[in-house]
Amino acid sequence: MSLFDTLSVSASGMSAQRYRTELLAQNIANSETTRTPEGGPYRRQDAVFETSEVLQPFGNVFAQALNPTTPGVKVSEVLLDAKDPIKRYLPGHPDADKDGYVAFPNFSPVEEMVDLMAASRTFNANVTAAGTVKDMISRSIDLLRS
């Protein structure tokens, strides 16, 4: 039934937004991190979304191939921020260079909070869609119960 596929579409949107929220929380948590395994300060990460098919079982994929598709969404890549780190003069810091400057992540709290809010709103929109579809499904099941 097509309505159940709709639930997976909404679920794909929810998981994509949740992943983005995780990245944003990671950015905020690492706003002062000067050491990373790759060397240098932490760089901001952001998710890039891409449309994708939500269905895995063969029957569904087959049906989808016959029928024009309705895509879900997935995170296609995680972008590393290319902005230069901010230098702060902290001569006592263990990561200071020879002039006494420490490279800190180029962190903008406003940017993170705005993105976080957008992610949360979009997540909620997907939840609403899933709830509405669930209501439609239960109404169809109700037909059997008259």
Partner 1 sequence: MDVKLGSQMEQYMNLLAARQKLVASNIANAETPGYHAKDIDFQFEFQSLAATYGPEAKPHVIEAPGLKERNDGNNVSMDREMRLLSENALRFQFVSQLMKNQFQQYRRAIQSPR
- Binders of partner 1 among 51-70, rule CB under 8 A? 51, 67-68, 70
State the helix-helix crossing angle for 2-29 and 109-142, rounded to 10 degrees.
160
Task: Output 68 or 92, the one with its CB closest to partner 1.
Answer: 68
- Note whether 142 binds partner 1 by CB under 8 A: yes
Among 36, 95, 109, 132, binds partner 1 (CB under 8 A): 132
* Residues 70, 50: Cα–Cα separation, whole Å: 13
DSSP structure string for 18-50: HHHHHHHHHHHHTTT----TTSSS---EEEEEE
Task: Output 25 or 86, the one with its CB closest to partner 1.
Answer: 25
CA 83 from chain centre, in angstroms, equals 20
CA 121 from chain centre, in angstroms, equals 12
Among 28, 78, 79, 136, binds partner 1 (CB under 8 A): 136
Strands 72-80, 45-52: pairing is antiparallel
Measured from the CB of residue 7, what is the shortest distance to partner 1 in angstroms?
8
Q: Which residues bind to partner 1, rule: CB under 8 A?
A: 1-3, 5-6, 9-10, 12-13, 16, 48-51, 67-68, 70-73, 118, 122, 125-126, 128-130, 132-133, 135-136, 139-140, 142-143, 146
